[in-house]
Chain A
Amino acid sequence: MANFLDFERPVAELESKIRELRHLSSENNLNIADEVGRLEKEAARLLRQIYGRLSPWQKVQVARHPERPHALDYIRAFVTDFVPLAGDRAFAEDAAIVGGIGRFRGTSVVLIGTEKGSDTEERLKHNFGMARPEGYRKAQRLMRLADRFGLPVITLVDTAGAYPGVDAEARGQAEAIARAIETCLDLRVPLVAAIIGEGGSGGAIALAAANTVLMLEHAIYSVISPEGCASILWRTGEAAREAAEALNLTAEDLRRLGVIDRIVEEPLGGAHRHPDEACRKLGEALEAALLSFRGQDGESLRRRRRDKYLAIGRRGF
């Protein structure tokens, strides 16, 4: 892998050794083939060990991994006949939030996602997945569209947060996010959200006040970034690791707190190692979530979604 994380170094070293040996084994040496097999087993064992007990701070790194599949990767993988839709009809198109209508497992759905982009050019185009008010207003518009035509909504959340900029504030970032949450809560169609990478604060909940919230195994979801929390409460960004522990931002934490409904297992070594497998697993989980709403009418979908948020935090954990 071109990009490996600090704690993946032992695995990366083994893998580079394996590559070298494979290169040599063109000379058809049986001993080398044995050695490759042994090293591959060892690499898999190490990976299982490392990923079986990632610390919250390590999960933060995995969730932000540049090679992790992003919203459009998932949409390409499990949506057919996709037509992208743009614009908030008031000011601009905001590519930080992608959206459109497409076919998922034979059903037409509306898809909305925060998109980080996968190379420099794409990252700039999508503003690293940090939306401005027009992005959240576009999301509102697409949700209303889904509501009008009775289409389920799938949202894919992967954002460090809403864009902190003068222009965003001038055009009402706070209002745009508040109204996006309000729209999520008002829909009479199924709304399923998946936290696929970073679930960053208001920019995430704007798209995720859903009937069912799925979360990838190594994704994070938090009210503030560990770095931001550390610099406010510890008065130093150096304490980000401690803040990550304290914030309870892993999928396990969130399920225990009743904020998400289901954890979607990632391939061994994280979604960035086997993107296709990650897409397949998320697709299956989304399908199961949508199937669970069969037979529910719009009013009950809306009421149950609202009741779910009212109940959060009322029982013990």
Chain B
Amino acid sequence: MNWLTNFVLPKIRAVVAKKEVRDNLWQKCPGCEQMLYYRELETNLHVCRNCGHHLRIGALERLKILFDEGAFERSALPEVLADPLRFRDRRRYLDRLREAQANFGASDAIAVASGRIGGVPAVVAAFEFGFLGGSMGLAVGEAMLAAADLAVKNECALIVVPASGGARMQEGVLSLMQMPRTILAADRVKEKGLPYIVVLTDPTTGGVSASLAMVGDLILAEPGAQIGFAGARVIEETIREKLPDGFQRAEYLYEHGMVDLVVPRHELAAVLGRLLGHLHKGRPQAAAPAS
């Protein structure tokens, strides 16, 4: 894996591709409905200048924001069996999967990379929400285990940034099995005394929320992110009443004691850097007590 071929070149290709097809220079803010110019959005880390809404971003954008100078080395994802159930709904799952792979130039809904944050080495596993809703199947589970192994090898923290609707139901119960498997991934890091940090982003729901996302040593969240186990629509249908304002938002979870800190995107790398400074292996140690 090298930085040039795995990050710079795809990035250039992505930019070129974007230029060719960019017919949408303006995007409507989901928060305030104001039209936002793409260049301004990009320089503002996809946060609306008008209302502060944090728009969803892709995995590569996320890695660029988190790592020092936007520099990192991406890891190839482990190979897994594609479409284990030969699942077909109105379309074949395999077709949906191949299409997403082509669109994102990635094998599945997660990107794993290593680099430095605040000068401290770290591994980041960032979900790609656009890739089949960031859903977790065999590939994401295996990638989480590989990310944990990489963190252990590098003796550094593993930072996971979920953006996912939950389990990939086209992989049936095998996707459910990624809940214990990703918890085991987190344990690999923790067992070595290394930090396992979760940054919840919009959205983090279903099986992803009830596994890797909630077992962090520390749990941060981006403002306004939707975070919860059950879907809001399902809850509404069950209880037949309107949901409270701000329900399942990052701030709601904060008030209910489920996250440590809600951190705006602009400050995320700095806050993570400070936390890593306190927790990483090479941190300044207190002098040993005199014997």
Q: Which of B174, B180, B209, B215 is packed against the most chain A CB atoms within 10 Å?
A: B180
Known contacts: A162-B230, A169-B248, A310-B145. The answer to whether A223 contacts B214 by CB under 8 A is: no
Binds A, one of B58-66, B234-242, B266-274: B234-242
Residue B89 lies at the interface, judged by CB distance under 8 Å to chain A: yes
Q: How far is the CB of B129 from chain A (nearest CB, A)?
A: 16
Interface 1/0 per residue, B178-195 and A, CB below 8 Å? 011101100100000000
Let me know if B238 and A259 touch, CB within 8 A.
no
Let me know if A169 and B247 touch, CB within 8 A.
yes
Let me know if A310 and B184 touch, CB within 8 A.
yes
Let me know if B229 and A162 touch, CB within 8 A.
yes
- In angstroms, Cα B89 to Cα A239, docked, is 9
- In angstroms, Cα B211 to Cα A206, docked, is 10
List chain B residues, Cβ under 8 A from A205.
176-177, 179-180
Let me know if B258 and A233 touch, CB within 8 A.
no
- In angstroms, Cα B90 to Cα A242, docked, is 10
List chain A residues, Cβ under 8 A from B258.
172, 175
Let me know if B173 and A254 touch, CB within 8 A.
yes
Binds B, one of A22-30, A69-77, A113-121, A243-251: A243-251
Let me know if A185 and B180 touch, CB within 8 A.
yes
Interface size range on B against A: 35 or more
Let me know if A306 and B184 touch, CB within 8 A.
yes
Q: How far is the CB of A228 from chain B (nearest CB, A)?
A: 8
Let me know if A166 and B244 touch, CB within 8 A.
yes
Known contacts: A166-B239, A246-B89, A259-B173. The answer to whether A313 contacts B256 by CB under 8 A is: no
Known contacts: A166-B243, A169-B235, A173-B230. The answer to whether A309 contacts B87 by CB under 8 A is: no
- In angstroms, Cα B239 to Cα A166, docked, is 8
Let me know if B229 and A169 touch, CB within 8 A.
yes
- In angstroms, Cα B183 to Cα A259, docked, is 17
Binds A, one of B40-48, B77-85, B97-105, B113-121: B77-85
Residue A201 lies at the interface, judged by CB distance under 8 Å to chain B: yes
Cβ-closest chain B residue relative to A161: B230
Let me know if A233 and B169 touch, CB within 8 A.
yes
Residue A168 lies at the interface, judged by CB distance under 8 Å to chain B: yes
- In angstroms, Cα B107 to Cα A68, docked, is 44
- In angstroms, Cα B234 to Cα A239, docked, is 18
- In angstroms, Cα B184 to Cα A249, docked, is 24
Known contacts: A184-B180, A313-B138. The answer to whether A174 contacts B174 by CB under 8 A is: no
Let me know if A179 and B89 touch, CB within 8 A.
no
- In angstroms, Cα B90 to Cα A229, docked, is 12
List chain A residues, Cβ under 8 A from B244.
166
Q: How far is the CB of A312 from chain B (nearest CB, A)?
A: 5
Let me know if A173 and B210 touch, CB within 8 A.
yes
Q: Which of A163-179 contact B (CB under 8 A)?
A: 163-166, 168-175, 177-179
- In angstroms, Cα B244 to Cα A166, docked, is 8
List chain B residues, Cβ under 8 A from A235.
90
List chain A residues, Cβ under 8 A from B257.
172
Instruction: Pull 15 A–B residue pairs with CB atoms less than 8 Å apart, ordered by A.
Output: A165-B238, A166-B235, A169-B228, A175-B214, A178-B210, A181-B210, A202-B206, A202-B207, A202-B210, A222-B173, A223-B167, A223-B207, A249-B172, A310-B145, A313-B141
